[in-house]
Chain A
Amino acid sequence: MTELTYIGKPARRVDALEKVMGKAKYIADRKLPGMLHARCLRSDIPHGRIVKLDVAPALAVPGVRAVITSDDFFEHGLYGFPVKDKYMLAYQKVRYVGEAIAAVAADTPEAAQAGVAAIVCELEPLPGVFDVAHALDPDAPQVGPDRPDGQHPNFLDNLIVRKGDPLAEWEKCPFRLEEHYSVVHQEHAYIEPEGALAVPTREGGVVVYAPNQSPFVNHGNLALVLNLPHNLVRVIQPPVGGSFGGKDDLVYETSAQVAKLALITGRPVRMIFGREESMIASYKRDAMRMHVWLGADRDGTLRACKFAGLLDSGAYASESPFTGWRASIHAMGAYRYDACHVDITCVYTNNGYCGAFRGFGNTEVCAAIEQAIDELAYQVGMDPLDFRLQNCLRVGDETPHGQVLTESVGLTECLQTVRRLSNWDRKRRDYAHQTGEIRRGIGVAALFHGTSLGAEGRDYAGCTISVQPDYSLDLTSGLTDYGTGSRTVFTLIAAEELGVRPERIHMQRPDTDTAIESGPTVASRSTMLGGNATRIAAMNLRQTLDYAAADLLGCDLHQLIRDGEAYVGPSEEPVSWEEVVRHARAMGLVLSAQGRWTAPRIHWDHHAGRGVPYMAYHFAAQVAEVEVDMRTGRVQVIGIWAAHDPGRVIFPQGAYGQLYGGIAQGLGYALMEQITYVNGYLQETNFESYLIPTAVDVPEIVGTFVEAPFSHGPYGAKNIAEPAMVPTAPAILNAIYHATGRRIRDLPANLERVLLGHDLAKDGSPRACKVGLRI
């Protein structure tokens, strides 16, 4: 490959300067003259029928300008993908504590709150489903929508993988494991709570500023529920203060609410969430209960895997059918098996609701399978890292789904790398026989993680690039940078292809009026999909500029060479990029271009549980070292070594940032992040009770990239954001076992689980939610 100038080299994040100066304007920092403040009335019961909803008293409150209910939206604001089961404001029923019922716009936040308090809303409580194991009981209260197909209404989806007959194989295995594991809900805990700002337009439309993940999804929803043509709806992306999968549905709802209020009042309307409202109303990572069977030969060869997962989707489907699908594809881990069955069953309950969160199903199943693999390694009597090396996927292997891996499989190298970096073999020996009160342990987990959407849906992205009058370049993408660094990645790719300095390029935030619809910003797909689209757009523009340069220099295209930004012909002095642009303009050429890239076609047969789920996979291994205080159960993670294969790294500083940040989220998932629904009431409503890792909880991390290029990725790039967090929790749990001899099969490994091996009975109450919804 020719030497690259910007790809893989040190670079500055394009939006870092405004952020370090405190000048970036997030949604809560944006105020407009005449702007109204909006607030929602939210359900304080987990399941109930709306028997009376009278907003007239709220309209009589001084300062209140408008109040809306589901009646104000087209088809009551019904929306959702892949299942249309949620309303922009509750219609007829509420199904979780925190569900929005009505929205008020007023001159001040205080008046809006008074308006909410004045709404007459009578809810008739209905029995709820709070235990996921009983969601499908014949007499379980109905949470989900009516099912015309005869299925239980609380049944959402079942996602399968099928290869052979694993239980028959398992019976024959000399080494067998059968265990149960569970993970609880996880809160995204972005430091910026949700919000949205809508501005009515003279034409009868609306412009919405929303810190959402996927502005074009928001755009489509808005046009639908406001019953407006697409051209009258515009969504503009402000800086987003973190998302991690969390700023989809709820921000779309908020957007629809402020948009409708703005259309009614003719004034800008903004809604900003406090932390309690955010925690109570927002969707979480799903909780999952998992039952795993693993079998191996006497020589440690894995033979059989059966995996059954029960996924709590909560009150609405949101992304759970997709989460469940990704969970099913990855549930068996990155290993070869003779036979493998996976069933992930998604059900409705009244425990909040669940949607996308970094790792998207794989985080959940990896916590189980990578502990199960560890447990089986101990049974076989093998070093857990050797056991993984013996069984892990390599180039040429066929996955349990039936996909032959032909390239870009860096797992063996990742495992060997973390073994070396962490001093694995020495520490395994040193920590093998400890008796003291403070004990150390070291554990490993391996990972594969499919790139982009896979067979979930059509996978494409678009990009535009244009030369501006001042010779700068404007670059747009339909994909959002909510902190991931994708704007910098796209800038570097465009600079590389065009042969211009990155400083010349202005990478815009998405605006649905100017960017090209690119599918959702999810699944760690930006670098591959948006990167390829950027590369194509830049190549298209470069063809035009090269043509102008050749004309200016009086030579053939193939005779052109570049010296920095300048063009040089065979017998001429260098001409500057500006001169080439001027010449192109004089020639009447169009100095803008588009790019679109569509992923190679793949196919998954949902009924057979076979096919090619993803075009490529990210592979990784992480080792965690812990110190456990046997007197208190306190676990301190003292080291993490992470080797990841994201394909070619484009923006190293950003990729390392994703890696470290993902690991910190995985550490929280392993040890402290506990979401508890008691009879549908969330118990942790702010950061004093929902703990996320601080700078003293996260150790110094040694990260390294094993770059196994993928032929379809831009410069060989795959992905990094999601997979960074996935293997951390099981690596830590395996280290705790090494230190203590105790398996913590239910996350998180809090003090009492580590010390006592079980939870202490805790009271729960509706209080935190009831108070939190009034703050």
Chain B
Amino acid sequence: MLIEFTLNHKPVTVDAPPDITLLTLLRDYLGLTGTKDGCSVGECGACAVIMDGRLVNSCLVLAPQAAGREVITIEGIHAADGGPNDMQENFIAYGAVQCGICIPGMVMAGEALLLHNPYPTRSEIREALAGNLCRCTGYQQIVDAIEATAKGRQGNR
């Protein structure tokens, strides 16, 4: 079937079977491999994307459910020049990255949080990350990076 939606601010139309997930659509049909498959059951958050402003596990969304929606993946997160945006820059600067497999999902979780809550406390940041598993970092430097990004964006308001 034809699935039409907005992907990273551009309209796309994909011909795909109706019984695949949004994760499979992104990775196997659109070649966007920044979104990762860690568990396929919605527990790890490695596949998190933003759909209509909300963080969702793309492994739990059927591809046709994306029709007419606005989907943002890690490939849609960057600065105007294509380099890292402030969130990504802070992930680097605060040492939030180790093996990196969870990081696209973590960046999406941070962006989704700041869409709704520009002034999060550290414990609110932790709550917002609770659906994203990281086995390397113990989360502390990820929280640091998102906190610094929130503060930076507050300063620019």
For residue B153, CB closer than 8 A to chain A, the reply is: no
CB-CB contacts below 8 Å: B127-144 with A: 127, 129-143
Of the candidates A17, A28, A659, A665, which one forms a contact with B37 in the assembled complex, judged by CB atoms under 8 Å apart? A28
What 0/1 pattern do residues 241 to 256 of A give for CB contact below 8 A with B? Answer: 1111000000000000
**Across the two chains, which residue of chain B brings its CB closest to A654?**
B95
In the assembly, what is the distance between CA of A248 and CA of B73, in Å?
32
- CB pair A20 B135 closer than 8 Å: no
Q: Which of these, A275, A482, A657, A688, contacts B141 with CB under 8 Å?
A: A657
Query: In the complex, how many residues of chain B place their beta carbon closer than 8 angstroms to a beta carbon of chain A?
Result: 55
Chain A 593-636 residues near chain B, CB threshold 8 A: none
A1-19 contacts to B (CB < 8 Å) = 12-13, 15-17, 19
Known: A29-B33, A192-B38, A482-B99. A16 touches B91 (CB 8 A): yes
Bound-state CA distance A347–B73 (Å) is 48
Contact in complex: B129, A13 (CB < 8 Å): no
Please, which residue of chain A has its CB at the minimum distance from the CB of B75? A22
Q: Provide the bound-state CA to CA distance between A692 and B135, in Å.
A: 8
> How many angstroms from the CA of A191 to the CA of B101 in the assembled complex?
7
Residues on A with C-beta less than 8 A from B32 are 22
Query: Is B58 located at the chain interface by the 8 A CB criterion?
Result: no
Question: What does DSSP make chain B's interface, helix, strand, loop or mixed?
Answer: loop
| Chain A 683-698 interface 0/1 with B at a Cβ cutoff of 8 Å (1 = within) | 0001110001111101
Q: Once the chains bind, are A22 and B74 in contact (CB under 8 Å)?
A: yes
Considering only CB atoms, which chain B residue lies closest to A663 in the complex?
B138
Docked-complex contact B43 and A483, CB < 8 angstroms:
no
> Known: A16-B91, A22-B34, A656-B141. Is A191-B43 also a contact (CB below 8 A)?
no
When distances are taken between beta carbons in the complex, the residues of chain A under 8 Å from B35 are 22
Contact call B122/A700, Cβ cutoff below 8 A:
yes
Is the CB of B151 closer than 8 A to any CB of chain A? Answer: no
Q: Quick one: given A21-B88, A701-B140, are A191 and B98 in contact (CB under 8 Å)?
A: no
Residue among A25, A189, A662 with max Cβ neighbours from chain B (10 Å): A189
Contacts of A483 in B (CB 8 A): 98-100, 136
Provide the A324-367 mask, 1 if CB < 8 A to any CB of B, else 0: 00000000000000000000000000000000000000000000
Contact of A23 with B by CB under 8 A: yes
How far is the CB of B36 from the nearest CB of chain A, in Å?
A: 7
Determine which residue in B34, B98, B138 has the highest number of CB atoms from chain A within 10 A of its CB, and name it: B138
A431 at the interface (CB under 8 A from B): no
Q: Does B41 contact A (CB under 8 A)?
A: yes
**CB contact under 8 A between A20 and B92, given known A193-B38, A664-B139:** yes
Contact A21 B99 (CB under 8 A): no
Please state if B34 and A23 are interface contacts (CB–CB under 8 Å).
Answer: yes
A653 contacts B95, C-beta separation under 8 Å = yes
Contact B103 A695, beta carbon cutoff 8 Å: no
User: Which of A12, A191, A692 has most chain B Cβ within 10 Å?
Assistant: A191
Q: How far is the CA of A164 from the CA of B123 in the complex (A)?
A: 52
Q: Do the beta carbons of A16 and B97 come within 8 Å of each other? A: yes
Complex alpha-carbon distance, A57 and B21, angstroms: 31
Decide if A687 touches B84 in the complex (CB within 8 Å).
no
Contact B138 A698 (CB under 8 A): yes
Task: Please name all residues of chain A whose beta carbon is closer than 8 Å to the beta carbon of B122 when the two chains form the complex.
Answer: 700
Give which listed residue, A188, A193, A244, A694, contacts B133 with CB less than 8 A: A694
What residues of chain A lie closer than 8 Å to B73, measured between beta carbons? 22
Quick check: A484 and B98 within 8 Å, CB to CB?
Answer: yes
Please name all residues of chain B whose beta carbon is closer than 8 Å to the beta carbon of A688 when the two chains form the complex: 41, 43
Q: Tell me which residues across on chain A come within 8 A of B97, comparing CB atoms.
A: 13, 15-16, 19-20
A24 within 8 A of B: yes
Per the bound structure, the CA–CA distance linking A21 and B94 in Å amounts to 16
Write out the residue numbers on chain A whose beta carbons fall within 8 Å of the beta carbon of B123: 696
Question: Which positions in A face B, CB cutoff 8 Å?
Answer: 12-13, 15-17, 19-26, 28-29, 188-193, 239-244, 274-275, 482-485, 653-654, 656-657, 659-665, 686-688, 692-696, 698, 700-701, 775
28 pairs, CB–CB < 8 Å, chain A vs chain B: A17-B92, A20-B84, A20-B107, A21-B34, A22-B35, A28-B37, A188-B135, A189-B133, A190-B101, A191-B36, A191-B38, A191-B46, A191-B102, A192-B36, A240-B99, A241-B100, A242-B99, A244-B135, A275-B44, A483-B100, A659-B138, A660-B138, A661-B98, A664-B139, A686-B43, A694-B133, A698-B139, A700-B140
- Nearest 10 interchain pairs by C-beta: A22-B34, A483-B99, A241-B101, A19-B100, A660-B138, A22-B74, A653-B95, A664-B138, A687-B43, A29-B33
15 further A-B pairs in the complex, CB-CB below 8 A; given A239-B100, A654-B95, A664-B137: A20-B100, A22-B73, A192-B36, A192-B101, A193-B38, A242-B98, A656-B95, A657-B95, A657-B141, A662-B138, A686-B43, A687-B39, A695-B134, A695-B139, A698-B138
